[in-house]
Chain A
Amino acid sequence: MRSLLHPAAKPVVFVLCLLPLAALVYGAATDTLGANPAEALIRSLGDWTLRLLCGTLAVTPLRQATGWHALARFRRLLGLFTFFYGVLHLLAYAWFDMGFYLDEIVRDIAKRPFILVGFAALLLMLPLAATSFNRAIKALGATRWQTLHRLVYAVAGLGLLHFFWMRAGKNDQAEVAVYAAVLGALLGWRVLRRLRSRAPKLQRA
């Protein structure tokens, strides 16, 4: 897959990642987001955060399964876009639902634990985003950097719980199940590989 190494590949992915936001901004400007545009914006931004998170976590398994090692070039970009959409999701909630009134946001978080969980997921993404540039990797050392970035698994769990909890009253977890299956498969792949890579070592010993 030499096209993955094409100089235009990264800018193309960058623009692709911006398309959902562009569509939402266009929808808001033209008032075509339905009867409840605020809700549509908040929920869509949340959906895209989860989708990009799945995309980020899919890079490594895909790379290993296909041998297209150039895929790794896109992982940081996708991870940062996950954080970007997560921040927009929070901002949309704080603005359109809460009018940026901090005391009401705090009260809301206390009453709606699912928001606290989502907030925690976003907070955990903060150190990952903050250490996403090359010099941070050098400063931390690759091993410590990698350990820190395992936080993404906690982010995935909390994000999924946030979505599940939000939908809990509706008895309709079909969409949640899809994300759970995808995230489960991506994490499962890693666990399996771990176990398999350990096995030969044991034989050698």
Chain B
Amino acid sequence: MHFLDKNRGYEHPTASDITPRAVYEQRRELLRWMAAGGAGVALAGWAQREAHAQQIARPQKLAALSATRSTLPGSVTMEKPTPYGDVTTYNNFYEFGTDKEDPSRLAGTLKTRPWTVTVEGAVGKPRVWALDDLLKLAPMEERIYRLRCVEGWSMVIPWVGYSLAELIRRSEPTGNAKFVEFHSLADKRQMPGVNSRVLLWPYVEGLRLDEAMHPLSLLAFGLYGEVLPNQNGAPVRLVVPWKYGFKSAKSIVKIRLVEKQPATAWNVSAPQEYGFYSNVNPKVDHPRWSQATERRIGEDGLFQRRRPTTLFNGYEAQVGQLYAGMDLKKFY
């Protein structure tokens, strides 16, 4: 019932003037994308919005891990996901070898059950989590993130998991907790690569506490609607979409909250090449190659040019404030 009309000084829209909710939301999504600094990327995604509306098809290779599409801003890119076959055969997981095909070839020996994750250090409630308890800790969400590797390639991956913050909050960090350290499994019997001296084992990665608490930091248990394949870091891994891929530790067995910046695997191995932060940044080159562009795996044909890389991998609107005032060249 409309009691107010134009005669009383109110401009009231007629029903046909009101933007349908769906269109309005699409527009918001678009604006969000443009705000994220990836206008060109967003427009490409916009053109594919029909495909985006489709549910991600399950490859039906592993156990299903159902999830609801995340509503977190920035958590669902409209870009076309990289084919499952590429996501699961082109991997850096040095515990299984240094060639991209090694992990998919050799990770079958990894036993992901039983599995526990120890949360310890500067926390009020240290605990050894059984995988089943972790799986039930929070509702599973599907998030479609861009992944940018420091080597200059990228993918779009539909992950399944929930914000790492859910787990950290339950552990009740003390005032001393400034950083979070992640330890991957390093078992020579299951992981042939651990016999090599390519890196110091176990693989350790780390985040500042506020980075770890950012809702986009994902504790992932699956991809493409199924549990994680071993080569992708089963049974539980981290995904930090605005950082280079190696920051996202795989097959995690321990999470420590600590006061000092952790010594991380790649930073120890080659500090001049891999900094602690390793935020995706087209303006900060790797000492031996430019980071200005990237090759999208699986989507571009052989003759397609590399695409420009965006600051924080396009997640600047969501995470930019974490680094306000920081010199990203110094803290690379």
Query: What residues make up the interface of A, taking CB atoms closer than 8 Å to B?
Result: 28, 34-39, 41, 95-97, 99, 107-108, 111-114, 165, 168-172
Interface string of B65-96 (1 = CB under 8 A from A): 00000000000000000000110011000000
Chain B residues contacting A168 (CB-CB under 8 Å) are 288
Main secondary structure of the interface of A (DSSP, over half): helix
Interface size on B, residues (CB 8 A): 27
Assuming A34-B100, A35-B298, A171-B198, is B90 touching A99 (CB within 8 A)?
no
Cβ-defined contact, B297 with A35, below 8 A: yes
User: Within the assembled complex, what's the spacing in Å between the Cα atoms of A137 and B79?
Assistant: 59
Q: Can you list the 10 inter-chain pairs with the closest CB atoms, starting with the nearest? A: A35-B90, A35-B86, A99-B305, A172-B98, A171-B198, A111-B290, A112-B289, A35-B297, A172-B198, A37-B302
Cβ-defined contact, A36 with B290, below 8 A: no
For residue B303, CB closer than 8 A to chain A, the reply is: yes
How many Å from the CB of A103 to the closest CB on chain B?
13
For residue B153, CB closer than 8 A to chain A, the reply is: yes
Chain A residues contacting B198 (CB-CB under 8 Å) are 170-172
Other-chain residue from A38, A95, A165 in contact with B295 (beta carbon distance below 8 A): A38
Other-chain residue from A39, A97, A111, A169 in contact with B285 (beta carbon distance below 8 A): A111
Cross-chain pair count, CB within 8 angstroms: 58
Cβ-defined contact, A38 with B302, below 8 A: yes
Cβ-defined contact, B289 with A171, below 8 A: no
Assuming A36-B90, A99-B305, is B98 touching A170 (CB within 8 A)?
yes
User: Within the assembled complex, what's the spacing in Å between the Cα atoms of A172 and B269?
Assistant: 12
User: Within the assembled complex, what's the spacing in Å between the Cα atoms of A171 and B270?
Assistant: 9
User: Within the assembled complex, what's the spacing in Å between the Cα atoms of A114 and B297?
Assistant: 24
Chain A residues contacting B90 (CB-CB under 8 Å) are 34-36
For residue B273, CB closer than 8 A to chain A, the reply is: yes
How many Å from the CB of A27 to the closest CB on chain B?
11
User: Within the assembled complex, what's the spacing in Å between the Cα atoms of A97 and B305?
Assistant: 7
Assuming A35-B297, A97-B306, is B98 touching A108 (CB within 8 A)?
no
User: Within the assembled complex, what's the spacing in Å between the Cα atoms of A168 and B86?
Assistant: 25
